[in-house]
Structure formats: C-alpha cells, structure tokens
C-alpha cells in the first residue's frame, strides 16, 4: 500500500487516472527521444555513407539474381 491512505471513493479514481496519464506521457516522451536519437545516428555522415553503400550492394545483388532468373527462364 502507499503511505497515503485514501478514503474509498474519495478521489482515488482521479489519482489513479492522473498517475496513468503521467506514465503515458513519460512513455511517449521516452519513445520520442529514442526515435530522435536513432534518426540522428542514422543521418550521421559515416552511418549514412555505410547505409548507402549497403543499399547499392543490395540493389546490385537483387539485379544480378533477377538477370540470372530471367536468363535461366528464357
């Protein structure tokens, strides 16, 4: 139990709603901070360059596989 005893029905519901609202706001704020940090990291020059390089390799690999499939089918 908490250190403050509330009388049954005496604003206990309001207290719980306010507490739940505070937890929700904290959770949203934390999520937004994590997203902002991830975006900043992703857009950092070394990471951005590495992501572009991986994307180009992935694209080239997909093209090569597609050409192999088309060559084998045709």
For the chain, the domains span 12-73
Instruction: Tell me the two tokens of residue 67.
Output: 């050409």
Burial of 41 (0-12, 13-18, 19+ CB in 10 A): exposed
- With a pLDDT cut of 90, the percent of the chain lying above it is 66
Confidence grade of residue 1 (pLDDT, cut at 50, 70, 90): very low
Give pTM, 2 decimals: 0.48
Confidence grade of residue 5 (pLDDT, cut at 50, 70, 90): low
Q: Is the pLDDT of residue 8 over 80?
A: no
Cβ contact 27:19 at 8 Å: no
pLDDT at res. 4: 53
26 vs 42 pLDDT, higher one:
26
Cβ contact 6:15 at 8 Å: yes
The residues, ordered by sequence, that sit 6+ positions from 15 with a Cβ below 8 Å of its Cβ are 6
3-state SS class at 65: helix
């Amino acid at each position: 139990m908490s250190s403050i005893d509330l009388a049954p029905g005496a604003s206990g519901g309001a207290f719980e709603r306010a507490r739940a609202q505070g937890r929700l706001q904290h959770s949203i704020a934390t999520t937004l901070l994590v997203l902002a940090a991830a975006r900043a990291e992703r857009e950092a020059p070394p990471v951005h360059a590495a992501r572009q390089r991986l994307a180009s390799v992935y694209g080239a690999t997909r093209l090569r596989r597609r050409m192999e499939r088309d060559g084998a089918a045709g």
